[in-house]
Structure 1
């Protein structure tokens, strides 16, 4: 029989406030694919930029002249930019290579821009700069192009020797780590057969520079490390850094550099850094690990302007100059140094500049045969100045 006390207990009513709230089931959130695509930067297809630029990239080779070894040692010791151990390792190398780019062209000559630090053991940028004539005296300088390398690897199955063309240093800026080489366009060869040389008749387009800041944007480095022609790597543009006063600057460079999150290798120095539109943002100065530093267009463009000049022709006068009319003497030939300087001017020639409008600056030099125009697209600024929105075009005008 059931307990009457148990039957008398009232039913237990739970406190509704103590119950967990009932949450209605939420439908899954479906994000808009178009909104997702806006948040992701697509990767650049670099193949078209690479295909257009590879013919503008050169391998440059500096071979020390054996008879100048003692002279080079003296110059290197006076420069004081390297330790004795570093100099021993440098002078033990039979040759040095780096990358160059086609920077200017006239009727007879092609000008190849590269970096000066390939010979930085021979100078200090502030205390002991070096001139083009000295570099030409100490080294045999040669270049080879993509077409010659392709002929060597494809048509000749890498048989025989690679084909190189003699080059001359015609300008150097030790402070900005820049060097200009000059090559005769008719002498640039794609193959050498005995004493005969087959001229390279292909185009080597002049690269165009863009001075606008594009921090965080994608970029591509094209370079020519030893035996690895037309190597390219991709990355991101980062910061601008100043070299002056840094402990890692024993040579005394004075410039601001663009730093990029991109790898580089020995022999890559001088290689161009491209943006997605195919404009050059700088040429490689150096790097360590995953970061590399590039010389900016605002330093490069004035250097091209001052140093892409042909050699001075010899005098064509066959008779001695006459003396003053009515005078009695002074009609003998003038004596002086030979003006046929095959190495080009060591000092920048005088320039005159006239600003015609806010977006264009013009500079003329030399004998008056050529006039070059630097055009800036975007904000109107002076030639070589940095800033946002600048794109420079170097064009010859007759």
Structure 2
């Protein structure tokens, strides 16, 4: 595959990226603790840290851009303390015990604009979790467009949805990622696909949640808070979503198959031709 134009990939992707923060509701600590007991993989002495603080953050990207609503895909493991693969949590319980906040790229640009001092704090939009896969680390968030603001006004700029290719990635394909670790929005990196399907056993990692998906191995850098970022190919199509980085040189991504099936089963339009190849 020809080397992509990195700047073009950056420009095509950046407006679709959101910062995600999910924090516990102050009046639901008991319910969250009950969910943690059911999931039963967080030590009792460590559960308190999930009840206090500012929540857990990730990167997300737009997968559907409707006239009234945005749908944003991210990783579920920001709330993995309340679920396991064998004891999944429902979207109802997620929304009952957590507050989901999102921030768009344009709002961050305005917030950081030199001389901007009228708004000392970022203004988040509240989202609602509408889909979760506790086996595959996928979370779908819905946000009213009118709630996505640029400082004190509705953000009128475009938040384009990213699309998917009709073919699978392959080893040595060039790829790129734009993510949003805390305070470092528009973090852009280039890499290459190393292997398209690693199991957790291949990685030698503990897996207390019981995740069952295989992961694509990519020689690319990632940071805490980058999880949920899209990996795009040279045509700007999403070929994976960041699960995490376990080793110095490599990061690991949820597969195109798992992402597309998850979205299709939750009403997000993806490539029908490709889905026909995935269905048994």
Q: Distance in 2 between matches of 1:111 and 1:88?
A: 31
The residue number in structure 2 matching 1:232 is 188
Matched, 1:141 2:100: yes
Report the structure, 1 or 2, having the larger helix content.
Answer: 2
- Residues 156 and 67 (structure 1 numbering): CA distance in 2 closer, same or farther, change over 3 Å? farther
* 8 A contact 2:58–2:180 mirrored in 1: yes
Q: Distance in 1 between matches of 2:108 and 2:35?
A: 34
Q: Distance in 2 between matches of 1:305 and 1:42?
A: 30
Q: Distance in 2 between matches of 1:56 and 1:142?
A: 16
Structure 1 segments unaligned to the other structure (5+ residues): 1-40, 193-197, 310-371, 387-398
Q: Distance in 1 between matches of 2:27 and 2:238?
A: 39
SS state of the match for residue 32, structure 2?
helix
Where does 1:10-21 land on structure 2 (aligned, <5 Å)?
A: none
* 8 A contact 1:61–1:142 mirrored in 2: yes
**Greater CA deviation, 165-174 or 239-248?**
239-248
Q: Distance in 1 between matches of 2:270 and 2:164?
A: 14
Select the residue among 170, 173, 192 that pairs with 2:130.
170
1:217 shift after superposition: 2.0
Q: Distance in 1 between matches of 2:242 and 2:263?
A: 16
1:86 shift after superposition: 4.0
Matched, 1:266 2:224: yes
Q: Distance in 2 between matches of 1:262 and 1:168?
A: 31
Structure 2 segments unaligned to the other structure (5+ residues): none
* 8 A contact 1:104–1:308 mirrored in 2: no
Select the residue among 132, 147, 151 that pairs with 1:187.
147
Q: Distance in 2 between matches of 1:296 and 1:79?
A: 25
- Residues 185 and 130 (structure 1 numbering): CA distance in 2 closer, same or farther, change over 3 Å? same
- Residues 234 and 86 (structure 1 numbering): CA distance in 2 closer, same or farther, change over 3 Å? farther
Matched, 1:255 2:213: yes
The residue number in structure 2 matching 1:208 is 163
1:304 shift after superposition: 1.3
Where does 1:34-49 land on structure 2 (aligned, <5 Å)?
A: 44-49=4-9
TM-score w.r.t. length of structure 1:
0.64
SS state of the match for residue 100, structure 1?
strand
The residue number in structure 2 matching 1:276 is 234
Q: C-alpha root-mean-square deviation of aligned residues, in Å?
A: 2.3
1:244 shift after superposition: 6.8
Q: Distance in 2 between matches of 1:106 and 1:153?
A: 28
Matched, 1:119 2:16: no
1:74 shift after superposition: 1.8
Q: Distance in 1 between matches of 2:198 and 2:205?
A: 14
Q: Distance in 2 between matches of 1:148 and 1:113?
A: 19
* 8 A contact 2:70–2:142 mirrored in 1: yes
* 8 A contact 1:180–1:308 mirrored in 2: no
Q: Distance in 2 between matches of 1:138 and 1:205?
A: 30
TM-score w.r.t. length of structure 2:
0.90
- Residues 146 and 47 (structure 1 numbering): CA distance in 2 closer, same or farther, change over 3 Å? same
